[in-house]
């Protein structure tokens, strides 16, 4: 969620584990990052919503959302409010399943959630 907010990552090459000494247990990847500013210059409407996002608010929110990534978003967000029913209703209005885990959300969904649930610094 952090990298995708500022850039679009792409795997450009795979480095096989046999190319290293000592040999690691996994292969490696080389990635390239196209920054958000470059993407916005291309006038991609998908990325225009990034202009309207408060980055400080976004990062404070994802710290809460990903605090325990194996928990559901409902369990992670419940620390933001005492009203569990209101939290469920907001997620339902956003058409986001309460049992979704943070890593399964799209960047668009995370941005939408960060705009909906304001975090105090």
pLDDT in tens, 62-102: 989 998 888 999 999 988 888 889 899 999 999 999 999 99
Query: Looking at the structure, do residues 89 and 103 belong to the same domain, yes or no?
Result: yes
52 assigned binding-site residue: no
Query: Looking at the structure, do residues 74 and 113 belong to the same domain, yes or no?
Result: yes
Reference 61, options 116, 105, 108, 9; nearest CA is: 116
Q: What CATH number does the domain containing 64 carry?
A: 1.10.8.100
Structural domain for 101, as ranges:
53-121
pTM metric for this prediction: 0.67
Query: Looking at the structure, do residues 106 and 67 belong to the same domain, yes or no?
Result: yes
Query: Looking at the structure, do residues 38 and 66 belong to the same domain, yes or no?
Result: no
Query: Looking at the structure, do residues 60 and 29 belong to the same domain, yes or no?
Result: no
110 vs 120 pLDDT, higher one: 110
**Per-residue pLDDT reduced to its tens digit, 19-66:** 999 999 999 999 998 886 655 555 555 555 555 678 888 888 998 999
φ/ψ of residue 11, rounded to 5: -75, 120
The answer, yes or no, to whether the previous bond of 62 is cis (omega within 30 of 0) is no
Query: Looking at the structure, do residues 60 and 32 belong to the same domain, yes or no?
Result: no
Report the domain count for the chain.
2
For the chain, helix, strand, coil in percent to 5 are 55, 15, 35
Chain centroid, CA 73 distance in Å: 12
Q: Kind of pairing, strands 7-15 and 28-35?
A: antiparallel
Query: Looking at the structure, do residues 20 and 61 belong to the same domain, yes or no?
Result: no
Please, are residues 100 and 69 in contact by the beta-carbon 8 Å criterion?
no
Query: Looking at the structure, do residues 1 and 19 belong to the same domain, yes or no?
Result: yes
């Amino acid at each position: 969620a952090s990298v995708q907010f500022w850039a679009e990552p792409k795997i450009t090459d795979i480095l096989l584990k046999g190319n290293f000494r000592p040999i690691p247990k996994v292969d490696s990847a080389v990635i390239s990052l196209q920054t958000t500013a470059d993407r916005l210059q291309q006038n991609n409407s998908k990325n225009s919503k990034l202009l309207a996002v408060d980055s400080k608010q976004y990062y404070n929110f994802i710290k809460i959302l990903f605090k325990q990534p194996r928990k559901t978003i409902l369990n992670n967000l419940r620390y933001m409010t005492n009203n569990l029913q209101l939290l469920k209703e907001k997620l339902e209005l956003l058409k986001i399943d309460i049992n979704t885990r943070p890593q399964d959300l799209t960047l668009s969904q995370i941005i939408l959630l960060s705009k909906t649930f304001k975090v105090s610094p």
